[in-house]
Amino acid sequence: MENKPNAATDLTIVADSNIASLSEFFNNDTLSGTTGRRVRMIKVAGRDIDAQLLADTQPNVLLIRSVTHVNADLLKDNDSVRFVGSATIGTDHVDQDYLAARRIHFANAAGCSKHSVAQYVLSAILTLRPEYWQRSSTPPTLGIIGLGNIGSTLAQYASSLGWQVLGYDPLLPASSLNNASFAQVIEKSDLVSLHVPLTDKSSATSLAGSAHHSSHAHEYPTRHLIDKNALDAMPASTLLINSARGPVIDAAALQADIERTGRQVVLDVFEHEPQIEEALLSKLAIATPHIAGYTLEGKLRGTQMIYDALCEKLSISPAQSMHQLLPLNMFLWSELQAHPDRLVKFYDIMQDDKALRATLAGGQVKAAAFDQLRRDYHLRREWQF
């Protein structure tokens, strides 16, 4: 009797089981205290959240990460969901127009892992090109495409290393950081790092967290932003890093480019993710399974942000804080700068690369292996800047 759902008094939550500290944030004490509602939590693998599950469980709240597509296909026959929270920065998996039309509240976790992703990019660069630690009269030039939360944070780290930065973001005003055209970034950088959302020409909704310019998104779509033309214009010596979304690079053009130029390329995201072909993987300098943002801090901040948004929607005060859940953090960026040889202690990116390559079977990394690496990801900490 006690566990039987009661639509009137229960707050039923269906959540991706890969969301960090779900039970600590979403329980009777942290949610239903003032509303008196009993929290019923149903944890499911993100890819298993489908219309049938929603029909069976009738949740009021849906908590997701990036692998659950939220759109009319999922929700057209459902009337129970009133709040969707995605514990991610990216929102390309959510049809926000559809949610708005249905008056379903949506929240994401803008900026939650901006330091973690920036630190991933730095780790990749400094692992492949340790000479860039040295301050020299000709510092490297880092090109950053997309100057939102992650791109601008990465620029701060680069500046603290004395690097030159060329930035391109057509949706932001010109500035000392937003200082170059797309062609200049592509042609003049030693390193190019991508930090754009995945958007299509017809899409005007993929910029949650950047709502101030979302209505212009369609003017500068990012799908295949890095295509054959862009790669042809990029010097062979330029290191290219994609930790944004896989389809921002045309994978076929990239493979041909690496075969032709021998370019160093780092991918955390893949056009056909969660599947990766060995033909591409074998040509990459570093490859990781979409874990750039996967520090303890980045994940907890994501959970905190959707928890806070749900509390606001329920008109209750937040009663949980990630700071109560975080163990002591001893990773200081200033220490790493003083002791570059400690990089692998701070984050050993090659360990993630090796783990991904070890799952190759029959010429592919299969979806299940890719997902398992992400589900069982080791404890990684964010460095304090």
Ligand X SMILES: O=C(O)C(=O)[C@H](O)COP(=O)(O)O
Ligand Y SMILES: NC(=O)C1=CN([C@@H]2O[C@H](COP(=O)(O)OP(=O)(O)OC[C@H]3O[C@@H](n4cnc5c(N)ncnc54)[C@H](O)[C@@H]3O)[C@@H](O)[C@H]2O)C=CC1
Q: So which residues are the catalytic ones?
A: 245, 273, 290
- Residue among 12, 66, 178, 304 that touches ligand X (CB under 6 A): 66
Residue type, 292: A
Helices (H), the chain: 22-25, 51-57, 72-75, 96-101, 114-128, 149-160, 182-188, 228-233, 251-261, 278-281, 296-314, 333-338, 343-346, 349-357, 367-375
Strands 265-267 and 239-242: parallel
The phi-psi region of residue 166 (left if phi > 0; otherwise alpha if psi is between -120 and 50; otherwise beta) is beta
If binding is defined by CB under 6 A, does position 305 make contact with ligand Y?
Answer: no
Please give the Cα distance from 285 to 242 (Å, whole number).
12
- For 116, phi then psi, to 5°, come to -60, -45
Q: Position of tokens 């991610």?
A: 88
Which of ligand X, ligand Y, none binds 268 (CB below 5-8 Å, type-dependent)?
ligand Y
Quick one: 250 or 268, whose CB is closer to ligand X?
Answer: 268
Footprint (CB under 6 A) of ligand X, residues 84-123: 88-90, 113
18 binds, among ligand Y, ligand X, none (CB under 5 to 8 A by kind): ligand X
Contact region with ligand Y (CB under 6 A), list: 79-87, 99-107, 165-173, 254-262: 165-173
The residue among 40 and 301 lying less far from ligand X, judged by its C-beta, is 301
Shortest distance in whole angstroms from residue 89 CB to ligand X:
4
Residue 59 near residue 81, CB atoms below 8 Å: yes
168 binds, among ligand X, ligand Y, none (CB under 5 to 8 A by kind): ligand Y
Smallest separation, CB 327 to ligand X (Å): 21
Q: Distance from CA of residue 291 to its chain's centroid?
A: 8
Tokens 């493979």 -> residue? 255
Token pair 């055209």 is found at 181
Number of residues this chain uses to bind ligand X (CB under 6 A): 10
CB of 308 to ligand X, least distance (A): 16
For ligand X, the closer CB: 243 or 264: 243
Of 20-28, 41-49, 168-176, 183-191, the window that binds ligand Y (rule: CB under 6 A) is 168-176
| Binding residue (CB under 6 A) for ligand X from 41, 67, 185, 314 | 67
Residue at shortest CB range from ligand X: 65
- Is 168 one of the binding residues for ligand Y (CB under 6 A)? yes
Sheet holding 105-107, edge to edge: 38-44, 10-16, 61-64, 83-86, 105-107
> Could you list the residues that contact ligand Y (CB under 6 A)?
89-90, 111, 113-114, 117, 145-151, 168-172, 195-199, 207, 209-210, 213, 220, 222, 225, 243-245, 268-269, 290, 292-293
